[in-house]
Amino acid sequence: MKRLEFSKFDDPKDALRLVDFDSVAPQAGEVRLRVEAAPINPADLLLIAGHYGYRPDLPATPGLEGVGRVAELGDRVSHLQHDDLVLLPLGHGSWAEEVTVDATHLFALPDEVDPLQLAMLAVNPLTATALLTDMAKLSAGDWVILNAANSAVGQYVLEIASRRNLRTVALVRRGGGLIMRLKERGATEVIVDHGQNVAADIQAVTGGVNTPLALDAIGGPATASLAGALSDGGQLINYGAMAQAPCDIPAQDLIFRGIDVRGFWLTRWIEQAGSERVHHLLDELVAMLREGRLRADVYGTYSLDHYKRAFKALRDSERAGKVLFTPGS
């Protein structure tokens, strides 16, 4: 068997290596899975570089999410069958041909759904639905503002919000064909953020009312733009740090307008929400995939042997879509 490993925290191109390992037979309550697909997420790159919310013991195999088929059942596993397709436990290390994991919270997925789409379900779509479900009280017709709207999470937010009859203002750094693509994904309005008067541009669209939620993936000055466009008492959720700078927000928005600024980390949300709540939302997302109401663009798939090509693809300035490993290919 093969898997990717890193023994130092560094740039992935310098830290990763392909290693051989022996299959691990499942113990009671465990299953051995053949990994079918596992995406490369920004959080994976942060983990390898040592900048994520935790540092694993080294050597470690990265890969926060993925899907696999049951290859072997341990004793006392009765809710799964051989060859069932399942989501890998979050953060287990999916960039491998096989993993052996606790089966307690695993559940069989529908075979008629594209495994590549299922492999991307547990991080970005779950983040998007949690942001829209648990961060603010929203009603049909409310406005949700988000920056980095062409990111994976951003596009899922647009799709899910549209299905819930929420209106969205999607902020992006460039226009052209991207504006139409985001409207096709469900955006109500798309604004190109040139860094000046963005809050005023947003308020011109929303009228400054019924705007209780803003989602910030960038930080820095971008945070202030979102805060200025929220209704009084609105929630501003920072879930990313693309600017690699502290979130800027005027004291006036905090003191006089009651803007509430919070951080969101999926791992902590899962711990607090509990397995029943997480499973319920995942069931909803699987149903949306089955019905064709949710999707992510795929740029390319790569075997583990070609991991250097995969990371080269990530750096393609024209890339539109996710890069995934298909370890069995």
Angle between helices 124-134 and 152-163 (to 10 degrees): 50
Angle between helices 275-290 and 266-273 (to 10 degrees): 110
Question: In angstroms, rounded to a whole number, what is the distance separating the alpha carbons of residues 6 and 176?
Answer: 39
Dihedral sign computed on CA atoms, order 193, 243, 153, 144: negative
Query: Is residue 52 annotated as part of the catalytic site, yes or no?
Result: yes
Q: Are strands 213-216 and 235-238 parallel, antiparallel or unpaired?
A: parallel
The burial class, CB within 10 Å (0-12 / 13-18 / 19+), for 305 is exposed
Contacts for 271 with CB less than 8 Å, ≥ 6 apart: none
Given a contact cutoff of 8 angstroms between Cβ atoms, the answer to whether 130 and 273 are in contact is: yes
E strand segments, 11-80: 16-20, 30-39, 67-73
Question: In angstroms, rounded to a whole number, what is the distance separating the alpha carbons of residues 214 and 236?
Answer: 5
| Residue appearing with tokens 């890193």 | 6
Q: Could you tell me which residues are beta bridge partners of residue 110?
A: none
Question: In angstroms, rounded to a whole number, what is the distance separating the alpha carbons of residues 63 and 9?
Answer: 15
The residues that are catalytic are 52
